[in-house]
Amino acid sequence: MYQPRTVWLSEVGEMAPLVGVVALQGGFAEHIEVLESLGTNTRRVRRSADLQGLDGIVLPGGESTVIDKLMRSFSLAEPLKDAVRRGLPVLATCAGLVVLATDLEDAAKGQHTLSLLDVTVRRNAFGSQLDSFEGTLDIDGVGDGVSATFIRAPVITRVGPGVEVIAQLPDEAGNVSGAIVGVRQRNVLALSFHPEETDDDRVHRTWLRQVSEEV
């Protein structure tokens, strides 16, 4: 599906970054496929030792309650938190956004978060009527009309002072118009949707360019 684009690396320098993808549950394989199609070296991250030497990390979608439990039982939660606090660039999608948030409106019983992104998130915000849908979004810093797949997606209902809103649902989105679906806070880029489920790789390209600038 994705054509290798090794040429693209010359745009950002010769060094291919090493990007970790948290691979406990959910859509990690799809992120790895996109990242590798763009010439990036990848590593599945399950334990704290896997964080060594990474230039960036992806928190994929899936089920945030399961990812939370596994991150804690694999003793990954605290070392991951430290790495992100020290500036490791993060791309979080869907459940990954839930995992990073400081506050959840409707956390499952016993659900923890890493509290790294100063936002409030409402899980499964579109309800069963609109479980999954595809659309296009204008994303600041990424581009216009970017393809986005929403799957039991969360929305962001509050953003803290250091958080920049980069994507909202369009005006014609009915009762969810204007909902915040993308934010950036320092080294964290977090999205409600799945850019890795589409053929549009602009989100990954943009994020990798930022990662490479830090390397």
Given the residues 30, 31, 196, 197, the one annotated as active site:
196
Among candidates 58, 54, 2, 57, which has minimal Cα distance to 27?
58
| Marked catalytic residue, from 194, 197, 204, 214 | 194
Within 106-165, which residues bind ligand GLN (CB under 6 A)? 123-124, 151-152
How many angstroms separate the most distant Cα atoms in the chain?
A: 48
Note whether 95 binds ligand GLN by CB under 6 A. yes
Indicate the residue among 95 and 139 with the shorter CB distance to ligand GLN.
Answer: 95
**Of 31, 94, 197, 204, catalytic:** 94
| Distances, alpha carbon 117 to alpha carbons 10, 62, 103, 124, in Å | 32, 18, 9, 19
Q: Which is nearer to ligand GLN, 88 or 148 (CB)?
A: 148
- Binding residues for ligand GLN, total number by CB under 6 A: 11
Determine whether 196 is an active site residue.
Answer: yes
Q: Hey, what's the torsion of the CAs at 125, 135, 89, 207, to 10 degrees?
A: -170
94 is catalytic: yes
Give dist(CA 26, CA 181) in Å, integer.
19
Q: Check: CB of residue 101 under 8 Å from CB of residue 115.
A: yes
Listed ranges 91-99, 140-148, 168-176, 179-187: which one lies at the site for ligand GLN (CB under 6 A): 91-99
Give yes or no: 194 in active site.
Answer: yes
DSSP H or E segment with residue 79: helix 77-85
Minimum distance of ligand GLN from residue 108's CB (angstroms): 8
Residue ranges in 42-71 that form contacts with ligand GLN under rule CB under 6 A:
61-64
Element (H, E) at 99: helix 95-100
Q: Specify the residue, 73 or 124, whose C-beta has the smaller distance to ligand GLN.
A: 124
Give the three-state DSSP class for 120. strand
**Which residues of the shown chain bind ligand GLN in the complex (CB under 6 A)?**
61-64, 94-95, 98, 123-124, 151-152
Q: Give catalytic residue positions.
A: 94, 194, 196
